[in-house]
A and B are shown apart, each in its own frame.
Chain A
Amino acid sequence: MYTQGLDQAGKDKQLASEAEDRLSAFQARVDAEEKIEAKDWMPEAYRRTLVRQISQHAHSEIIGMQPEGNWLTRAPSLKRKAILLAKVQDEAGHGLYLYSAAETLGVSRDQMVADLLSGKAKYSSIFNYPTLSWADIGAIGWLVDGAAIMNQIPLCRCSYGPYARAMVRVCKEESFHQRQGFDIMHALCSGSDKQKAMAQDALDRWWWPSLMMFGPNDSESKHSAQSMAWKIKRFSNDELRQKFVDVTVQQADFLGLSIPDDDLQFDDTTGHYTFGEIDWQEFLDVIAGNGPCNRQRLEKRKQAHDDGAWVREAAQEYALKQAARTAA
């Protein structure tokens, strides 16, 4: 009895050293570029980080259907209509792949959806901006998908196998998304003055929110270092943002559009563009729920979920009856 406390202390110590061994073995696997699979041992924080990141990514795809879906019924040609629908459908598919990847970590899709609808889970800030003209559909494809693909390609090599595999599929399918956006912008910029003005207005409104998509500056990013060590993340926010600016400016020049940033300049010594300061207050506001469309987006999602409840239940009830009939 007297030694109970001591025994416990000894056991704790032993447990601690076992945990440390497992942790370093895990890190060694990651460092060796081995993939971690669903049933492998992993640190709890690794699992939590992945669930957070993958579900946020899935939510972004699902909420992201709305701003573009907003123009499906008004697309200006049958060809554009079909292309846009195929793209919005891909987003539903990508949400589905990503939810599936997160489910391998032991969290249910129901739970993730509940977290989204309650406002607990986040999604990309960009989808809280409105699509006000047809040119916005072009700008989203060109800029938002362009930014997304830069983020996503490195994720194909993420240390977590199911996420990496989902991302391979996503990236393969998304390769047409940015092109169709640029194609819309190109058609507008080759059109009438009014169409060109529409394109410029869309660029003006989507440029800065697109830069915000890469997340806070590296100095402010709280999860970055650990995610890099775990090879969930391969490049820093600022590195990716810089890459995006560098390639996009040239594309805007081609279209004859001007980037809405007076400080934008090419730096001969670095070979990169320098650009103005992002309005981080706006970013924080939108993340906190105060963007132009936050409420509307969640409300629509919630409505769909609630309206579908009787349908999901009916299907389940029918499956139960069928199973009972087969058993009888």
Chain B
Amino acid sequence: MSKQEWPLYEVFIRSKAGLSHRHAGSVHAADDQMALDNARDTYTRRSEGVSLWVVRSDRIVASDPAESAAFFEPAEDKIYRHPTFYDIPDGVENL
């Protein structure tokens, strides 16, 4: 008989239509259906959601914090991507 614990699932909740799903926490479950039930019974007790996603934690591909400089810092000096970079001449509106 196996002694291993049930796999871990990450739970994402859409709190209302129009918003994206947001990470809420995790649950253990033996299978996908159970993961959905467990997420419902754990994380939506106070009407927190209208839609649920669950995904096995070991299926998530994540960036490595050790590489965060290479991943994210190159974006920092591309300030021309932000509208605040540009001066708008006085007298110009609705731009």
Contacts and interface: CB of A to CB of B under 8 A. Distances in A.
Interface in B37-75: 42, 45-46, 62, 64-66
B34 A103 contact: no
A251 interface: no
A319 B30 contact: yes
Which secondary structure dominates chain B's binding surface? loop
Contact of A108 (B1, B5, B30, B42): B5
B2 A41 contact: no
Contacts of A110: 4-5
A109 B6 CA distance: 10
B30 A318 contact: yes
Interface stretch (A68-76, A141-149, A309-317): A309-317
Contacts of A313: 1-2
B36 interface: no
Contact of B65 (A37, A97, A317, A322): A37
Interface centre among A173, A315, A316 (most CB of B within 10 A): A316
A326 to B, nearest CB: 11
Interface string B1-37: 1101110100000000000000001111011001000
B4 A316 contact: yes
B17 to A, nearest CB: 22
Interface residues of A, number: 24
A97 B65 CA distance: 24
Nearest to B34: A315
A315 B1 CA distance: 12
A169 B65 CA distance: 26
Interface in A95-141: 96-97, 100, 103, 108-110
Interface of B: 1-2, 4-6, 8, 25-28, 30-31, 34, 42, 45-46, 62, 64-66
Given A103-B26, A318-B31, 8 more contacts: A39-B62, A39-B64, A41-B65, A97-B25, A169-B25, A313-B2, A315-B34, A322-B31
